[in-house]
Amino acid sequence: MRDSAVVRLVEGRLAWYPPGAGAQPQWLDDESVRDNLRATLAQRRVKVCFAAPGADARLLTLTVAPEEKKHLSQSLPYMLEERVAADVDNLHFAHCLLADDTYAVAIASASKMEEWQSLLADFPGIRLWLPEPMLLPWQAGEWCLVLDEDKAIVRVGQCEGFTVERDLVATLLHSVLLAADAPGAVIVYGMDQQADTELLPEELRDRVQWRRGNLCAALLLSELPAVKLNLLQGSFAPRLPLALWWRQWRAVAAVFAAAFLLHLGGIYAEYRNLSAQNLALRGAIEQSYRQAMPQGAVVDAEKQLRRQLDVLGGTGQASGFIGLIDRVGGAIAGMPGTSIASINYNDKGNEMRLNIVAADFEGVEQLRSRMSEAGLEAIMESSSTQGDRVSARLRVTERS
């Protein structure tokens, strides 16, 4: 992994393999080495992954029916319940799609996942956890085996492999041969060619391509796998660092909150002031309206007053109170012996009721005739004799 870095657990200690590392890893027990890793994570120029121990992370492939894909995360533990010895409630399952209906699956105990989380707590930037065997170089038709002290890391497929003790290598490879075709080549990294070759089953020994080196040498020829079977899924998926962000931004948040509260207080004070002014204006409007119209409800004072002025002021067709009184007055003006006793005007019907006093009934009829000539309709509602004069009540409207 020439352009990537690997963090690995070796005998309970965390080791770091920087890009292009030498024969030996750098141990994270050293504070300066830890600082270097933190700086690398902060720069984000190099991808850093954690190699989960292959002995604690089982790899397998699984064919899934199309209708099961949608709920695979929930159903996967129960689909593999008979293929694992432990209780599925205590196991963690991760998966990724290989092709069509084939998935790669990694299984680790939940307790191991929590243990690794605790060990890597100081390096939250490591968000890719791959099972150890998947970091070895591999291509179709080849197997890769790295002998690391008393253990062997083996990769036999795109997402298949394991980590076992050296004495068990032949047994497990023989079981793989029973289920799959023999590879064209077996790449072995180790320190003693003859001893390392003898660890393999006899049918594979003539296909060995031995290379001197350890895991560091293998990583130099390896790349991050195209299919990333990341163990950080489900309940172990990376969470947003809310606590860290809060520590970094709480001072800014406090200033912003204070400014917001001050602004909100200013808006509220302005609202109270404008509300008081509005009430005062409404009171003044109502008081002015009552001077002109003492009766009735006040809904829209301006509109109501304009309507009253339109009624009283009349229009160009001589309608309204002014138009009626003008024509009624013109009709009565030519009759010196006739006078108006009282006037009652109804603006809704634009009609006027007059109580008039005339010399005789002939004078009343003459007045009605003059009003008719002025375009008015005068209907006599009642009449009576008062001494030597006649009193009549007329209803006057526009002629329709």
Residues 142 and 232 in one domain: no
List, in sequence order, every residue forming a beta bridge with 86; answer none if it has no partner.
Answer: none
Q: pLDDT of 208-261, one tens digit each?
A: 999 998 888 888 887 777 777 999 998 898 876 677 678 888 899 999 999 999
Q: What's residue 319's pLDDT?
A: 52
Assigned token pair, 52: 């989960």
Gyration radius (Cα) of the chain, Å: 52
- For residue 327, the domain's CATH number is 3.30.1360.100
Residues 233 and 252 in one domain: no
Q: pLDDT of 354-365, one tens digit each?
A: 898 888 888 888
Phi then psi dihedrals of residue 178, to 5 deg: -65, -25
Label residue 310 by pLDDT band (50, 70, 90): low
Give the domain range for residue 64.
Answer: 1-132+228-239
Label residue 345 by pLDDT band (50, 70, 90): confident
Q: What's residue 1's pLDDT?
A: 60
Q: How far apart are CA 170 and CA 164, in angstroms?
A: 10
Q: How far is CA 246 from CA 250, 251, 279, in A?
A: 5, 9, 46
Residues 385 and 333 in one domain: yes
Q: pLDDT of 158-195, one tens digit each?
A: 899 999 999 999 999 999 999 888 999 999 999 999 99
pTM: 0.61
- For residue 183, the domain's CATH number is 3.30.420.370
Residues 294 and 321 in one domain: no
Distance of CA 386 to the CA centre of its chain: 91
Q: How far apart are CA 26 and CA 37, in angstroms?
A: 10
* 3 state SS of 168: helix
Q: Is residue 34 classed exposed, middle or buried when 0-12, 13-18 and 19+ CB atoms within 10 A define those classes?
A: middle
Contact between 315 and 354 (Cβ < 8 Å): no
pLDDT above 50 (res 283): yes
Buried b (16+ CB within 10 A) or exposed e, 185-206: ebbbbbeeeeebbebbbeebee
Is the residue at 13 inside a domain?
yes
Dihedral of CA atoms 378, 379, 382, 387 in degrees, nearest 10, equals: 30
Among 13-22, 44-53, 108-117, top mean pLDDT goes to 108-117
291 or 98: which leads in pLDDT: 98
Mean pLDDT of 71-93: 90
In this structure, which amino acid lies at residue 167? D
Mean pLDDT of 123-147: 92
